[in-house]
Amino acid sequence: MFQKAKNIDTAFRQVRLFCLLVVTACTLICGAIIYSNYKATAYRESRIYVLANGKALEAVAGDRKENLPVEARDHVRTFHHWFFTLDPDEKVIQTNVGKALYLADGSARSLYESLKENNYYTGIISGNISQEIAVDSVAVDMDTYPYHFQCWATERIIRPLSITQRSLVTEGWLRHVSRSDNNPHGFLIERWATLQNKDLKTEPR
């Protein structure tokens, strides 16, 4: 009789151990499934598809900190493009400069007002002059905030009889602002100043 009780107790222990193993295995499997589903969902949500010319192109979403230097440099390039790209058309000048002024503080507006008072834009219109700019490089110091930048660019001033190339170097500081349709990068240029703006060469057309 004692042998039977001992056998029952041993069998009970074995069944209990087996059940514990099954429950532990099920818990681990469920945890693995939940984790894999979470990773798969995060992977899917980090990708969007853009439809361009009938083709679906994959785009990857990332943390802003990863793209901050790229966005800062592009903000500076965009500002200089709109501020210095001019044609002999008052509406074009107002539109381009207006877009640029959304990206900078009063320092840019002060220069615009000064150029306007000195009839710079009137001279462009009356002289049928076009102005283009190519930003060569932008250096941004991301170690200190607000972020100091320097921009090196080349201007082309196209007159009816000649083309002048001019070297342009500017500097300023970038601070964070809210993103908007007028300021998609979420930066504002402050204390913008021209360090160099000199003619390189003039060629006849």
Q: Residue ranges of the domains in the chain?
A: 2-48, 64-204
Per-residue model confidence (pLDDT) at position 141 = 96
Task: DSSP letter for 88, please.
Answer: S
Per-residue model confidence (pLDDT) at position 123 = 94
95/85 Cα distance (integer angstroms):
10
43/158 Cα distance (integer angstroms):
50
Q: At what angle do helices 106-117 and 90-101 cross, to 10 degrees?
A: 160
Per-residue model confidence (pLDDT) at position 124 = 95
What is the side-by-side order of every strand in the sheet holding 147-158?
A: 130-141, 147-158, 162-176, 187-204
Q: Does the domain made of 64-204 have the CATH classification 3.10.450.230?
A: yes
19/14 Cα distance (integer angstroms):
9
196/136 Cα distance (integer angstroms):
14
For residues 88 and 124, the answer to whether their CB atoms sit within 8 Å is yes
Per-residue model confidence (pLDDT) at position 10 = 75
Per-residue model confidence (pLDDT) at position 165 = 96
pLDDT tens digit sequence for 31-83: 888 888 777 776 666 566 666 565 555 655 555 566 899 999 999 999 999 99
Given a cut of 50, the residues of the chain with pLDDT beneath it are: 2
Residue 196: beta bridge partners? 169
> Who contacts 78 (Cβ-Cβ below 8 Å, separation ≥6)?
103, 185
Nearest to 148 by CA among 173, 181, 165, 171: 173
Per-residue model confidence (pLDDT) at position 36 = 82
Per-residue model confidence (pLDDT) at position 2 = 47
3-state secondary structure of 193: strand
Task: DSSP letter for 142, please.
Answer: T
Angle ∠(198,201,205) on CA atoms, nearest 5: 130
> Who contacts 39 (Cβ-Cβ below 8 Å, separation ≥6)?
none
